Copies of this chain bind each other. A is one copy, B any other.
Amino acid sequence: MEIEKEIKQNLKFSSEYQKVAVNILYTASWLSTHHAKALKPFGLTPQQFNLLRILRGQHPQPATINLLIDRMIDKSSNASRLVDRLLEKEFVYRCVSDADKRAVNVTITEKGLNVLSQIDKKSELLEHQLQNISPEEAIQLNQLLDKLRG
């Protein structure tokens, strides 16, 4: 549906660029709502899931908090506290680095790898909702978004 109708704005967009902004924010909200619902049965929030996937990418190496921040979709999310939550669920473990006692090494556990592979299996998660556009359109959309950010 066109973005104007979805948010029922009577005031017309002053430019196609303004519409792009609202459209991206609105679409991201739509997407992450669906994402959050799909992850809920697994006891993970989208941010925790994102972080856990980064840790799987590193496994069996650990990651420091800084590496996690660097790779997170949402940069200024608070990695320390996200790790706290994952620790409570025993999806990661954490220890001070030998090489640098300021740094913290975070590693994904077997339990963490397990929950991720369960989610992989049910991985209509994100992608199923996105099939309204063709693969060619998906490529085009990615190019436009990359270009937009400069």
Contacts and interface: CB of A to CB of B under 8 A. Distances in A.
B71 A7 contact: yes
A96 interface: no
State the number of copies, please: 2
Contacts of A147: 132-133, 137
A25 B126 CA distance: 11
A30 B149 contact: yes
Bin the interface of chain A by size. 35 or more
Interface of A: 1-3, 6-11, 15-33, 35, 53-54, 56-57, 70-76, 126-127, 130-133, 135, 137-142, 144-150
A92 B72 CA distance: 37
Contacts of A142: 3, 16, 19-20, 23
